[in-house]
Amino acid sequence: MNGQKIWTTNAHWADWIFCLVRTSSEGKRQEGISFLLIDMKSPGIKVDPIYLVDGTRTPMRHELNQVFFTDVKVPVENRVGEENKGWTYAKYLLEFERGGQAHGPRLRKASGISRSWAQPARCRRTALGQPELREKMAALEMEIDAIEMNELMFYSSLKTGDAPGTWPRS
């Protein structure tokens, strides 16, 4: 296998990587892709960090990378499913990519803690007495409402047997 994959989160820590690779140029473009699991210790793999604008240069602080593959040998048993059907498998996985994490309750709790810090019991003038802060807190609450709604839609679609990636989105 030859090529590169960019914006790969934590590739410098990974033992394995999955890649969608072109294995055929016949038929529709989506049909010529296979899904491979690749051992990151395989000869021919090079990981280069992508440093962001904060200037961080230590391996402990960066998280994005580009991965280069030069004549990497991947055993056929590391292919997921049938050859040239990788895009079909990837589409299914993408339906679940943004769901199932339940961040809403943790965000709601953190927001409540922040709100309680902003209105100390014994202060005459609270932070929430400032219109700008009240507006930002209200906007935060609306964002958390939207996250919770998306999460509820995700779980509802699983319960009814629908694919989560097919919800109508506006």
Residues recognised as catalytic? 97
What is the DSSP annotation of 49-101? EE--TT---STTT--EEEEEESS----GGGEESSTTBHHHHHHHHHTTTT-S-
Half-sphere exposure of 66 (CA within 13 A, CB side): 7
Q: How far apart are CA 19 and CA 68, in angstroms?
A: 12
Pairing mode, if any, of strands 3-9 and 64-69? antiparallel
Asked if 8 and 17 touch (Cβ cutoff 8 Å), the reply is yes
Which one, of 95, 92, 83, 94, lies nearest residue 27 by Cα? 83
